[in-house]
Structure 1
Amino acid sequence: MRLLKKMLRSTAVRSLICRLASCYMRFASWTTRWEIVGEEHPRRHWDNGQPFLGCFWHGRMMLVAPTWPREIPVEVLISRHGDGRFISTVISHLGMGTIEGSTSRGAVTALRGVIRTLRSGRIVAITPDGPRGPRMRAAGGLVLAAAVARVPVIPVSAAISHCQVLRSWDRFILPLPFGRGVIVWGEPILLPSSTDHDTLETGRLAIETALNRLSAEADRRMGHTPIEPAPLPHKAPELEPAP
């Protein structure tokens, strides 16, 4: 066990693991027959060079990330945890950039980074229930960032026929190769520029509802029972960057 921990602390070993993880994600994606539903929604923004805030649930990260078009630049919000740095390295091999956010210092740094990136004309992707959950419940900071930057939120979800659903807090989906998959894009959600609490909460619920509807649709298309969100918390979570 000590030897294993020592090996995992090695930069070379961690780099190799990250490379292998990204290769597996690409292999599973390449050997899957994908159907894309609603691609016209992000396509209008991609073709016109217009930024938007994309969002998908934390548990579907290994499905969405490798299927993102490599020719479309995107920055993903990732935490500064050790796990976050691991994921940041993995997705860098998939051609994605990252925005670092610190959960230990709160959400201010992450929020500013997202707004700054959107205002520069780049697309940002967020897992609004990461890194700790509750599962499939959207954080309020997602709405605040989109409202301040004045960009739409476009939800996306995915499912795959051959997979393992882990017993983690997010019901993380591990894709298996040689199956079928579906990517389901939702319509852009336009948010008022107002940042008062009631307006932000209305927007948060709209995004959460859309994401859960898309996820259930994707699961049903692949013949799976839809994964259920966690029970409603007493208070909506603040912005927490993924991992």
Structure 2
Amino acid sequence: MIRRKQWAARAAGYGLHAYISGVMRTTRFAPLPGEQRPWERTDGSFIALTWHGQQMLSVAALRGAPRTSVLVSLHFDGSVIATALARAGYGTIRGSGTQTRAKIRGKCGIPAFLAMRQALETGTNVLMTADVPKVARVAGKGAVQLARATGRPIFLFAAVTSARIDLDNWDKASLVLPFGRGCVLWSEALTVASDADAAEIDAVSHRITMGLDDLHAEAHRRLRSGS
């Protein structure tokens, strides 16, 4: 049964990679004048964040980026995403956050955090989704804690396309479609002091929530206006 699930996840991952590659080939991403991506304006590695339901076009946002690993869950869909990302040339770190201490061991939260810290400290960028687990578009504290532990900056991004289906599921996901116009926007760097206290961590998490909402709203506005 386990082998059958592994085979199914690999097959689905190959299909997902092929689909996203097709969307990338048929979507026109207009360059933004003067726009610099994080790896063009910072030395060393960084943490990239977007909403869970808006992650399908992460490969568009990170196109041309140096070595990058992505945090993906231990669930079946995480295995699918891990296979697709490996096909696209990205590394993966398996594990996820949780809202309860009782579940942190089962979700491999601590090993994943240590693996992400090591990746950042050895020059590999880390891509994460920002949401509190199963709570859409409310940023958790995981990325903020990671930034505090490593001293690496956080960059938020929105990668959207005009051709999409917006789903009514827990993470308000968008299924991107081919033959549309695309827009990628990055934020300025967010930094977290190594001695940041709980109040400061909460404040950065709130800034992430507001920043991601603003970036996605602006990206959709640009697509609607054609700018």
Map Cα deviations across residues 183-228 of structure 1 (whole Å, 9 max, x no partner): 011111122112420111111112221111101111222239xxxx
Q: Which residue of 1 aligns with 2:11?
A: 16
Cα gap change, 1:141 to 1:13, in 2 (>3 Å) = closer
Q: Structure 1 pair 44/222, CA: closer, same or farther in 2 (3 Å)?
A: same
Retained in 1: the 8 A contact 2:51–2:130?
yes
Deviation larger for 169-178 or 98-107: 98-107
Over 3 Å counting, the alpha-carbon distance change for 1:136 and 1:114 in structure 2 is same
User: For residue 125 of structure 2, what is the aligned residue in structure 1?
Assistant: 123
SS in 1 for 2:139: coil
- Give the counterpart of 1:72 among 66, 70, 83: 66
Q: After the TM superposition, which of the residue ranges 192-201 and 18-27 deviates more from structure 2?
A: 192-201
The separation in 2 between residues aligned to 1:136 and 1:72, in whole angstroms, is 27
Q: Which among 20, 24, 38 is matched to residue 25 of structure 1?
A: 20
Structure 1 regions of 5+ residues with no counterpart? 1-5, 225-243
Counterparts of 1:92 and 1:183, CA distance in 2: 22
TM-score, normalised relative to structure 1? 0.80
Tell me if 1:89 matches 2:83: yes
Give aligned pairs, total.
215
Aligned partners of 2:10, 2:71: CA distance in 1, in Å?
A: 20
SS class of match (1:28): helix
CA distance in 2, matches of 1:207, 1:36: 24
Q: Does the 8 Å contact 1:157/1:185 carry over to 2? A: yes
Percent identity of the aligned residues?
30
Which residue does the alignment assign to 1:57? 51
Amino acid of the structure 2 residue aligned with 1:81: H
How far, CA to CA, are the matches of 2:120 and 2:29 in structure 1? 29
Give the distance between the partners of 2:122 and 2:6, measured in 1 at CA: 33
**Which residue identity does 1:148 align to in structure 2?**
A
> Paired residue for 1:179?
180
CA distance in 2 between counterparts of 1:191 and 1:207 reads: 12
Structure 1 position 18, deviation (Å): 1.4
TM-score where L is the length of structure 2? 0.85
Structure 2 residue aligned with 1:42 = 38
Q: Which runs of 5+ in 2 are unaligned?
A: 98-102
Counterpart of 2:100? none
Aligned partner of 2:125: which letter? I
